[in-house]
Structures are given as C-alpha cells and as structure tokens.
Amino acid sequence: EDQVTQSPEALRLQEGESSSLNCSYTVSGLRGLFWYRQDPGKGPEFLFTLYSAGEEKEKERLKATLTKKESFLHITAPKPEDSATYLCAVQDDSGGGADGLTFGKGTHLIIQP
Amino acid sequence: DAGVTQSPTHLIKTRGQHVTLRCSPISGHKSVSWYQQVLGQGPQFIFQYYEKEERGRGNFPDRFSARQFPNYSSELNVNALLLGDSALYLCASSPLWRSYNSPLHFGNGTRLTVT
C-alpha cells in the first residue's frame, strides 16, 4: 500500500525566511510524484510533477526535488501570498487499473509580513 | 477557459439520505476522478472514469457510485449517508487516462455536511 508522510504539519515563517517542506513516500514503483497547493475553500492547484530521482523543477519562489525516498519543496524568500496548504501525492505503477493519487495530509504554511 | 465546475457548492443532508454531486470537466478532458477530503486530511481517491467507463476505484464502500455521461460530465452518488461521509468532495479532470503525464485539474469541491 502506498504511503505519503509530510512534515512538518504546520510551519510559520517570516516574510523572506526560506525553508523546506518534506514529503516521504513508500510505493511499489513510482510513476510520478506531484506537488499541489490548496487555499482555504478551494481545490488543489497543480504545481509540479517529478518522475525520477535527481529531478528538480522550479516555479517562481518554489523548487521541488526528488530522491528515491522523499521529495522536498524549497521555498525561497516567501511572501504572504505563498501561505497555503501544500500537498504531496504519488502515483504508483502497479498497473492494477486504479489510477488514483495517494496524498499526504499536507503542510499548512503561514508566511507572516 | 472555464475550469472544472462542481455543483452544488454546499449541501446539508440527514443520515440515511441519498446525495448526488455533479461535475463538469475542462473542455476537451475525457477523464474525471472523484476524491473525498475530510477536514485536516489529504484527498482520498474514490473513482476514475475515462470515456464513460470506470477505470479505477479506491477503497470506498458500495454506497458510493458514479457515472460519466457522453459529454464527459460526471455524477457521484452516495446512498445511506453516514455522519462520516461529511467531507469536501473534489472532482478532477485530465485529458488522458494516465494522469501521471497529464496532471489533474481540480474543481473547488462540494462541501457535504451530514447531520
């Protein structure tokens, strides 16, 4: 059974204070690892897909990296508008037919001005 | 372009009742997936439909069912509602069956409260 564990559960930073969010995963075979951002009362918004260890992707102040056991979402010089819950999800290659993602519980990030 | 639209946005039902939630995917997207998100948790996979056929099912009881229509819109039905069914129900669409090479686009969900 696929498992995704995110840490910390909550993180409060000052504006401009860089940090990293962690996503540890266990899958039989990784098809893809996904990062989403979710604002209160909204659906998740896609950020990145990572496919293999060593891969990195960047978007504005965010950079996602992937190893064989975990992924990090690095936030550089965050702004208050970066406040949200960040969700990590995996898709395995079990081929059983179910094409659903397995999500972690998310990291609730607050950036204070 | 319009994103994924879900209706209704909020719903209050009583235990034992039945509920139908609706989803319209992004134009051109043929795959629709349903997820349940309980407060404080990540979304949990319920169903995936592609070209009107069920392609995947998560670990949910038979009280949950879904279907996809010729225009690719979808309905999620839940029978005999329990208090534990209270959650945000998310619909997501993608152009392809395998979403690892075409990420899911989520709607803003239907907030279901069961009393």
DSSP string, A4-73: EEEE-SEEEEETT--EEEEEEEE-SSEEEEEEEEE-TTS--EEEEEE-STT-EEEETTEEEEE-SSEEEE
Higher local confidence (pLDDT), A86 or B1:
A86
Q: Enter the tokens of residue B35.
A: 């997820």
Q: Is the pLDDT of residue A95 over 70?
A: no
Chain A positions in Cβ-Cβ contact with residue B109 (cut-off 8 Å): 42-43
Domain annotation for chain A: domains and CATH numbers: 3-95 (2.60.40.10)
Look at B42 and A41 and tell me if their CB atoms are within 8 Å: no
Smallest Cβ–Cβ distance between B42 and the set A49, A51, A104 belongs to A104
The average pLDDT across B23-39 equals 95
What does the longest C-alpha to C-alpha distance in chain B come to? Answer: 40
The count of domains in chain B is 1
Rg of chain A in Å (alpha carbons): 14
Chain B positions in Cβ-Cβ contact with residue A103 (cut-off 8 Å): 42-44
What does the longest C-alpha to C-alpha distance in chain A come to? Answer: 47
The average pLDDT across B46-69 equals 94
Chain A positions in Cβ-Cβ contact with residue B35 (cut-off 8 Å): 100
Look at B42 and A105 and tell me if their CB atoms are within 8 Å: yes
> How does the average pLDDT of chain A come out, rounded?
93
A25 touches B at CB < 8 Å: no
